[in-house]
Amino acid sequence: MIVIIVLAVIIVAGIIFFWWWFGANHQIKKLLNSLESTISFDNRPTLIATSIKAERLINYFSSDVALDIKSDDGLVELHTTDREEIRDYFLASLQRVSLINVRFLDTQINANRGRASLETTARVRVLSDFGETNLILPLRMVLEHSSGDWQIQSVSSIEIIKRYR
Amino acid sequence: MPTWRHITRIALAALVAWWFFSYVLVPIRVSGRSMEPAYDNSDFNFINRTAYWRKNPARGDVVGVSFTGQRLMLLKRIVGLPGESVAIIDGQIEINGQVLSEPYVQTAKQPWQVPAVHLLDQEYFVVGDNRDTAQADHVFGTVKAERMVGKILW
């Protein structure tokens, strides 16, 4: 009897683990973690490492991507529908900074049948010749699932407080 | 040797603690100077998520405004309530044309200028206590009620 109970528990745990591991939420969180490490670096990377990072970055986005990002202080501003331009923006940023650290926090995912929308807060730390800058960017993303992978279709800033300057 | 009873008790206590500090009192660490002198950089406090279960946010309340969750929040003071008109003239806040008394502001007020803003239903005007910064450098303005996580505990 005990053997049957233990087997049943193991089978149920296995099903839950399988369901969680291959679920959209986990896959999307893995994608964001991978994106974090692609964008971030502690020391200015070598030319080869830069090229690898830049080429890898393109693959996170779908070919019909739309970016509409603006930080509150205007330090980050990117509006494009061309993923090549995202790579160029990243490469240009690398010339100006010596450290970028990006973390996606408080990610809320809503996935349904090959599409997902999420809200997340990107905490960005940048070191440049002008000193240290810390940014907080609340973002909304739309992702699509195609050819076995999730890709980012759009990224836009969320206005938390309507400001008056 | 720990018994199953001990393990169950510890697990239950951990579960209750997780629930309490996620849904009732959310611990926070203040980062930045926008709420000085009431709340200094690195101060420790809690956001009481139950504060607005039975009543609406009130003027003077210090609230946590969430970005997309609870790990990062803005700490601001409510100065304008839904339906009111808020203006800032030379750094002085006016509600429906009347100057607002703000004893919590101890710093010099920079000459901020905001033309009258009419707050819609579920909209609040929030601002930090430290007004000794340039207007462009201080995050303040209107926020939806749904973004307010709760009221600071002390």
Q: What is the CATH number of the domain that holds A81?
A: 3.10.450.50
Q: What is the mean pLDDT of residues B131-148?
A: 91
Q: Name the band, by pLDDT with cuts 50, 70 and 90, for residue B93.
A: very high
* Inside any domain, residue A28: no
> Which positions 104-133 of B are in contact with A (Cβ < 8 Å)?
114-115, 117, 126
On the question of pLDDT at B51 being above 90, the answer is yes
| Contact yes or no for B147 and A160 at CB 8 A | yes
Q: Say which of B65, B70, B114 has its CB closest to residue A160.
A: B65
Q: Which residue of A has its CA nearest to B134?
A: A165
The pLDDT value recorded for residue A22 is 80
The pLDDT value recorded for residue B1 is 65
The pLDDT value recorded for residue A92 is 83
Q: What is the mean pLDDT of chain B?
A: 92
Q: What is the mean pLDDT of residues B122-134?
A: 93
| pLDDT single digits (tens) B69-89 | 888 899 999 999 999 999 999
DSSP state of B117: E
- Would strands B92-95 and B123-127 be described as parallel, antiparallel, or unpaired? unpaired
Lowest model confidence (mean pLDDT) among A49-53, A114-118, B9-13, B116-120: A49-53
The pLDDT value recorded for residue A1 is 81
| Contact yes or no for A121 and B126 at CB 8 A | no
Tell me how close the Cα of A10 comes to any Cα of chain B, in angstroms. Answer: 19
| Contact yes or no for B68 and A119 at CB 8 A | yes
Residue among B125, B130, B127, B131 at smallest CA distance from B144: B125
The pLDDT value recorded for residue A126 is 87
The pLDDT value recorded for residue A54 is 86
The pLDDT value recorded for residue A146 is 83
Q: Say which of B65, B139, B147 has its CB closest to residue A72.
A: B139
On the question of pLDDT at B118 being above 90, the answer is yes
Looking up tokens 């210090």, which residue turns up?
A: B62
Q: Which residues of A touch B78 (CB under 8 A)?
A: none
| Secondary structure string (H, E, C) spanning chain A | CHHHHHHHHHHHHHHHHHHHHCCHHHHHHHHHHHHHHHHCECCCCCHHHHHHHHHHHHCCEEEEEEEEEECCCCCCEEEECCHHHHHHHHHHHHHHEEEEEEEEEEEEEEEECCEEEEEEEEEEEEEECCEEEEEEEEEEEEEEEECCEEEEEEEEECCCCEECC
| Contact yes or no for B69 and A136 at CB 8 A | no
* Inside any domain, residue A154: yes
| pLDDT single digits (tens) A40-99 | 888 777 788 888 888 888 989 998 899 888 887 777 788 888 888 888 888 887 777 888
DSSP state of A1: -
> Which positions 15-34 of B are in contact with A (Cβ < 8 Å)?
none
Question: What does pTM read for this prediction?
Answer: 0.82
Q: What is the mean pLDDT of chain A?
A: 87
Tell me how close the Cα of B144 comes to any Cα of chain A, in angstroms. Answer: 8
Looking up tokens 């836009």, which residue turns up?
A: A156
* Inside any domain, residue A142: yes
Tell me how close the Cα of A49 comes to any Cα of chain B, in angstroms. Answer: 32
Q: Name the band, by pLDDT with cuts 50, 70 and 90, for residue B50.
A: very high
**B interface mutation test: which of A141, A161, A165 has the most B CBs within 10 A?**
A161
| Contact yes or no for B70 and A123 at CB 8 A | no
The pLDDT value recorded for residue B137 is 85
Q: Say which of B67, B117, B136 has its CB closest to residue A106.
A: B67
Residues 6+ apart with CB under 8 A from B45: B27, B28, B30, B39, B152, B153, B154
* Inside any domain, residue A70: yes
Q: ipTM of this model?
A: 0.78
Domain count, chain A: 1
| Structural domain containing residue A98 | 41-164
* Inside any domain, residue A14: no
Tell me how close the Cα of A125 comes to any Cα of chain B, in angstroms. Answer: 14
* Inside any domain, residue A17: no
Q: Which residue of B has its CA nearest to A106?
A: B69
* Inside any domain, residue A160: yes
* Inside any domain, residue A15: no
Q: Which residues of B touch A123 (CB under 8 A)?
A: 72
Q: Name the band, by pLDDT with cuts 50, 70 and 90, for residue B152.
A: very high
Q: Name the band, by pLDDT with cuts 50, 70 and 90, for residue B32.
A: confident
Q: What is the mean pLDDT of residues A113-118?
A: 90
The pLDDT value recorded for residue A162 is 87
